[in-house]
Structure 1
């Protein structure tokens, strides 16, 4: 799953796995990291709702994994809700859910608009752009910094470190950069609290210590930069390449939210994740999974499982892209809002925008976890600058 060939056509690979193995396929996340990939929808739902047999704590597994392993930063234990079970998971999740719930969605809508307009002005007179590098990434990055109360210079180091972790290239150095930058953010918000998620975490009754705080922020940035920018870019790719959307969104019969729902169903930006580590051998679907080996949910394959797929994608949120069960993503409303407002802003500003290359010539970055374009080139008639609302 780490090979460029997999990134080029993962859905063909899922189909081959399904034909050969059924709902559970043996895979390699790295040459030295065997895992089981769950590609059956109903099997995934059972696993996600069974934290006793499929806990998310990887500490025994990682004892035998080299520290330089490129996928280790994405899988290793951290003191956060994503990598714990039982009371520890409940404590971390309570703090995160409360802090995220206090985010002001109305003000975030305005914040995203304020971020989008200058980015659009940087490209609108030129007539062409790479929407991934010049719009989706900076929009996501600045919006996340705003809700976390993170200064841009600290956030830039976070983004660089997080990118290395997701790519699996210089992941160990990226992990160290990420930790240093987030420790600086925690110190800043402790001395200068604000109306932001970081301050909310610090003030929560869970009384998170410095180390725990840093790792809550790792989780928020991990979910908030790479998957979010890919959600925006991949949804724009869908809208600009599919006649059902390229016409209907502009005329209003289908909404950007419809496109987001379809993209989340058919081609999720975080394609394979939701990892668990059975503490003992466990049988499921007549397959015995080994103890202490990663079990990875393929949201992409499960959402498209012929045994469960629905023809109605717009408005259908039965997909597993946000996970399910005790580890379901608590940030869905914020993620939807940032993506929807960002996409609506650029479609409204550049209504004649089109892909600069055929959709089937777009390429994707390798990596076992994400579904990430290398770029999204577009062209459009040059237009004058927008004014901020």
Structure 2
């Protein structure tokens, strides 16, 4: 091994030669990019992220050590970002708005523990299967799934084409988010559309972000005076000194935590089922739950995590990372590390749970059980309602959404045939019964709101 691999290199990140992380190669197969960086640099590499130099940690052991840090050497607080403090981060840097929300994602120590305790209490009723809130939520997820599948089936003669990303995987967890937040249906519909605009980072994302923050601030105030059976009310009950601004900033995480992450997990799991005949042959609930874990391992929805900043100079791999340098840990790259790869057999249906898709340490995801359950129900319901579901493109030609953090499909085109149709005979939680094809049935129609008009427009209808 060359001496350079073991030598400390205190060269400032800002003066180093860095290569772009994102690009056509990364979009099509990030594994190849990770392997190239690993061969050249070892477990940590200097890369360019949309015009900013950052450290990318790609070794499993190094990623795990940083995530599990309890000494607060690795801070999430943006005040420790030296380039930002010195005014060297351009105000129009594309990732900056997502970093400046100033919620618990970017807190450390006691400030983090205070807010996470509130989140733990607020999520508990929806994650404990023995609680009525969790049971009602599961019934609601099934109803949302059926409503979306009904739209897919409208006007078909038993066969059809759909984009399961835009028409199923993404809207379903957005609807769950709306329920967890406790919005009134009319206002919630507008919020859902703004969340969609924000996550797509299009030209109207900035305006959508402003409207969204205003909406959740208004919601926080409403729940403070009129509590309900929802996340904001439970957070206020758990932490009475939580200010309305703090609560609004925390609530802004839900679209990412529940909607974007879970929507990505749903789509990635659907693609895995459709391309793996062994899994497709036995879609029991246990197999689907195991497939969700397998997908989290082999294709984690959040491939790269938001920055950490060392509070002191620290050696990682062959480099000395200076205090205040931005460090992005790559979960996807860590899972591809040969030192961890022996536990990730791509041919096995059952896989290890020693992966990092849900994080680790002080910032580990608190909603793992909720996201897994939503995904399991969504996948199960789709395969119950649609038969002969198959990709409309070869798996290696599926388009991926360019993103420095998420590894999500831009679209998931499929062809399907309707299974024996099922007609709902009641409201949420009602038992379905065999009946005539949904496209002809007198099933309960979803409200013709902006969201549903948008979803129908995706089918070419107005």
* Partner of residue 37, structure 1: 56
SS in 1 for 2:75: coil
Equivalent runs, 1:84-233 vs 2, <5 Å: 84-103=107-126, 104-125=133-154, 126=156, 127-163=160-196, 165-170=198-203, 172-233=206-267
Contact 1:40 1:305 in 2 (8 A): yes
1:166 deviates by 4.5
1:112 deviates by 0.6
1:248 deviates by 3.2
1:81 deviates by 2.2
* Partner of residue 304, structure 1: 336
Distance (Å, rounded) in 1 between the aligned partners of 2:417 and 2:119: 44
Q: TM-score, normalised by structure 1?
A: 0.92
Moved more, 317-326 or 21-30: 21-30
1:212 deviates by 0.3
Distance (Å, rounded) in 2 between the aligned partners of 1:77 and 1:370: 18
SS in 2 for 1:18: helix
Distance (Å, rounded) in 2 between the aligned partners of 1:18 and 1:153: 50
Counterparts in 2 of 1:154 and 1:294: CA distance versus 1, 3 Å: farther
Contact 2:101 2:249 in 1 (8 A): no
1:383 deviates by 5.1
SS in 2 for 1:364: coil
Distance (Å, rounded) in 2 between the aligned partners of 1:253 and 1:74: 35
SS in 1 for 2:399: coil
* Partner of residue 368, structure 2: 332
* Partner of residue 93, structure 2: 69
Contact 1:140 1:225 in 2 (8 A): yes
* Partner of residue 65, structure 2: 46
* Partner of residue 24, structure 1: 44
Structure with the greater alpha carbon radius of gyration: 2
Moved more, 107-116 or 340-349: 107-116
* Partner of residue 321, structure 1: 357
Counterparts in 2 of 1:280 and 1:163: CA distance versus 1, 3 Å: farther
Contact 2:25 2:33 in 1 (8 A): no
Q: Deviations over 1:28-72 (max 9, x none)?
A: 2211x2211111111111111114110111124233223322101
* Partner of residue 377, structure 1: 413
1:141 deviates by 0.7
Q: Deviations over 1:304-358 (max 9, x none)?
A: 2111121256252111011000110011111111111111000111132111111
Q: Deviations over 1:247-271 (max 9, x none)?
A: 233xx49711111011000001111
Task: Tell me how large the CA RMSD over aligned residues is.
Answer: 2.1
Distance (Å, rounded) in 2 between the aligned partners of 1:236 and 1:22: 34
Counterparts in 2 of 1:134 and 1:55: CA distance versus 1, 3 Å: same
Asked whether 1:6 is paired with 2:34, we answer: no
Counterparts in 2 of 1:146 and 1:82: CA distance versus 1, 3 Å: same
Aligned length: 385
Distance (Å, rounded) in 2 between the aligned partners of 1:54 and 1:273: 13
Counterparts in 2 of 1:253 and 1:82: CA distance versus 1, 3 Å: closer
1:169 deviates by 4.2
Contact 2:387 2:418 in 1 (8 A): no
Counterparts in 2 of 1:253 and 1:217: CA distance versus 1, 3 Å: closer
Unaligned runs of 5+ in 1: none
1:373 deviates by 0.9
Distance (Å, rounded) in 1 between the aligned partners of 2:222 and 2:351: 41
SS in 2 for 1:353: strand
Q: Deviations over 1:205-224 (max 9, x none)?
A: 35210110011111222211
Moved more, 159-168 or 209-218: 159-168
